Every structure is written in structure tokens, then in C-alpha cells.
């Protein structure tokens, strides 16, 4: 369970004013749920995902992820939480440029003890095969197409069998066919592992596949006028950007 209570995030703007970007009174996400975060650009989707991922701390309020109080953790504790619990897929992949596809996945495993060291190479190879890159294990990111880079990033996100997979605009930089593959792989992997999947997206293809959409307003709160929408494989959400 992910639970947010009176969560606020403020930034200091370059001119020194407090910028209130997120204010969520209460939000709960159950284990194994597939949730899409929608809302206009600048509504705080990335900010919220980064807080849940432990990449940044809230300004106020509580955030519990699998009973772990992130709001009370030091930066180092959040790093450990992330290695233990979270897989992250970024819009711009964030692969290590000087390392091969296989090494990128192996390095992610080295931050966690979830996969015993003797099993890492086998698992990394299997994951890259699962995303269709068995012929590209030793290519570096610049030798791969954008869609292939995103698939390496997905293999890396899954490396430590995360209970929570966070994907921020996972299809924004790839073509339509790759978007479909990425969403298929995300769903299949999370279903197999029983993971919770949390995605921010503008992409109707992505939003149309999720069991729940949470829409943020431009003020960074949950849009209560937007009823949760239950997906089926064929229908489309009533609202999207």
C-alpha cells in the first residue's frame, strides 16, 4: 500500500519565492494496482513520482510505501529504500553511456542484495531477452535506437524485482509501435511479479490500459471532478491531454 497524507511539496523559485507545486490531502494505492497519473504539464506528476520513488523529500505531510515512512527518512535511507523497493523508468532513459546494455542492468543489481551475485548475469541476460534485445547485450546506448534504449531501461528497472515500478512518461520519446511494446512489457512484468505500477503519461494508449487514473489539477491537487475510470482493453479514457 502507498499512502499519502496531507502531502505538500514546495520549491524555491529562481527569484526566491516559495512555489507550491503539490498538495494532496489523501491518496491510497493498493498493492498490485496499475495506476496512471494524468494532468496538464506542470501539474506535479514528476514531482509526485520522484517523492514516491524516494528521489526527493516532501516539504510537509506523510508518505508511507509498504509501511516505510519516507517522510522520516534521511537521503541515505531513501537510497536504500529505493534499491530495496523501487524500479524506475525515466522518460529520457538515463542509461550509463559508457557501459553496455548488459552492464547497465548488472550495475543496477549491484546496488541491491535482492538478486544473489551468482544469479545476476543469468537474470540480466534473461531480462534483456524478454525485452527483445538478446542480440544487443554488448551494445552501448549510443549504438542502440531510442526504442531499444528504452527497452534496456525497462530491463534495468525490473532488475531487482521491485515491488513498485514507477514509469514517468515511458512512451514520450519512442514511436507508436515501441510504445505498445513498452506498455505490454510493463503490464506483463508487473502482473507476473505482482508489482504495483505507477505511470505518469499524456499518452492515451497508456492511460487506456490502466485500471485507475488519478488526475492532477494545474494546482497540484487530485482532480475530484475526474471520476476513476475502469479500463477494459478496448475502451478509452473519457479525458486525456
Q: Which positions lie near ligand ADP, rule CB under 6 A? A: 11, 13, 19, 21, 39, 41-47
What residue has cell string 531499444?
Answer: 148
Q: In the set 21, 39, 46, 203, which binds Mg ion (CB under 5 A)?
A: 46
Smallest gap, in angstroms, from Cβ of residue 205 to ligand ADP? 18
**Pick from 61, 65, 57: which is nearest to 33 by CA?**
65
104 binds Mg ion (CB under 5 A): no
CA pair distance 29, 198, nearest whole angstrom: 9
Q: Toward Mg ion, which CB reaches closer, 39 or 87?
A: 39
> Shortest Cβ distance from residue 41 to Mg ion (Å)?
7
Element (H, E) at 46: helix 45-52
Which listed range, 46-54, 67-75, 121-129, 208-216, lies at the site for Mg ion (CB under 5 A)?
A: 46-54
16 vs 97 by CB, closer to ligand ADP: 16
Whether the Cβ atoms of residue 190 and residue 196 lie closer than 8 Å to each other: yes
What residues have CB less than 8 Å from 119, skipping those under 6 apart? none
- The least CB distance from residue 174 to ligand ADP, in Å, is 18
Instruction: Give whichever of 13 and 135 is closer to ligand ADP, judged by the CB atom.
Output: 13
- Provide, rounded to whole angstroms, the least separation between the CB of residue 210 and ligand ADP: 17
- C-alpha 108/C-alpha 200 separation (Å) is 22
Give which of Mg ion, ligand ADP, none residue 41 binds (C-beta under 5 to 8 Å, depending on kind).
ligand ADP
Burial of 162 (0-12, 13-18, 19+ CB in 10 A): buried
If the CB atoms of residues 91 and 181 are measured against ligand ADP, the closer one turns out to be: 91
Considering beta carbons, is residue 128 or 168 the nearer one to Mg ion?
Answer: 168
Query: Is residue 201 involved in binding Mg ion (CB under 5 A)?
Result: no
Cα separation, 135 vs 151, whole angstroms: 13
Partner whose binding site includes residue 42, from Mg ion, ligand ADP, none (CB under 5 to 8 Å by kind): ligand ADP
Q: Are 98 and 140 a contacting pair, CB within 8 Å?
A: yes
Minimum distance, C-beta of residue 17 to ligand ADP, in the bound complex (Å): 10
| 75-82: Cβ within 8 A, 24+ apart | 78/54, 79/54, 81/54, 82/53, 82/54, 82/55
The answer to whether 148 contacts Mg ion (rule: CB under 5 A) is no
Beta carbon nearer to ligand ADP, 47 or 160: 47
- Taking the C-alpha atoms of residue 22 and residue 7, their distance in angstroms, rounded to an integer, is 7
Residue numbers at the binding site for Mg ion (CB under 5 A): 45-46
Amino acid at each position: 500500500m502507498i499512502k499519502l497524507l496531507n502531502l505538500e511539496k514546495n520549491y524555491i523559485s529562481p527569484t526566491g519565492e516559495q512555489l507550491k507545486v503539490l498538495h494532496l490531502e489523501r491518496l491510497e494505492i493498493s498493492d498490485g494496482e496499475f495506476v496512471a497519473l494524468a494532468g496538464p504539464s506542470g501539474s506535479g506528476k514528476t514531482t509526485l513520482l520522484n517523492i514516491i520513488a524516494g528521489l526527493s523529500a516532501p516539504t510537509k505531510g506523510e508518505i508511507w510505501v509498504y509501511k516505510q515512512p519516507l517522510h522520516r527518512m534521511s537521503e541515505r535511507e531513501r537510497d536504500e529504500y529505493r534499491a530495496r523497493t523501487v524500479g524506475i523508468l525515466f522518460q529520457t532513459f538515463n542509461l550509463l553511456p559508457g557501459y553496455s546494455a548488459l552492464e547497465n542492468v548488472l550495475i543496477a543489481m549491484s546496488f541491491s542484495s535482492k538478486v544473489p551475485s551468482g544469479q545476476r548475469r543469468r537474470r540480466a541476460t534473461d531480462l534483456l531477452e524478454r525485452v527483445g534485445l538478446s542480440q544487443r547485450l554488448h551494445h552501448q546506448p549510443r549504438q542502440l535506437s531510442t526504442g531499444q534504449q528504452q527497452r534496456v531501461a525497462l530491463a534495468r528497472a525490473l532488475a531487482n524485482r521491485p515491488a513498485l515500478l514507477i514509469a514517468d512518461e515511458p512512451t514520450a520519446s519512442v514511436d507508436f509501435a515501441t510504445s505498445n511494446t513498452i506498455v505490454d512489457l510493463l503490464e506483463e512484468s508487473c502482473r507476473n511479479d505482482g508489482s504495483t505500477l505507477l505511470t505518469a503519461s499524456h499518452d492515451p494508449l497508456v492511460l487506456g490500459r490502466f485500471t485507475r487514473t488519478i488526475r492532477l489539477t494545474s494546482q497540484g491537487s487530485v482532480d475530484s471532478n475526474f471520476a476513476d475510470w475502469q479500463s477494459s482493453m478496448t475502451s478509452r479514457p473519457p479525458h486525456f491531454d
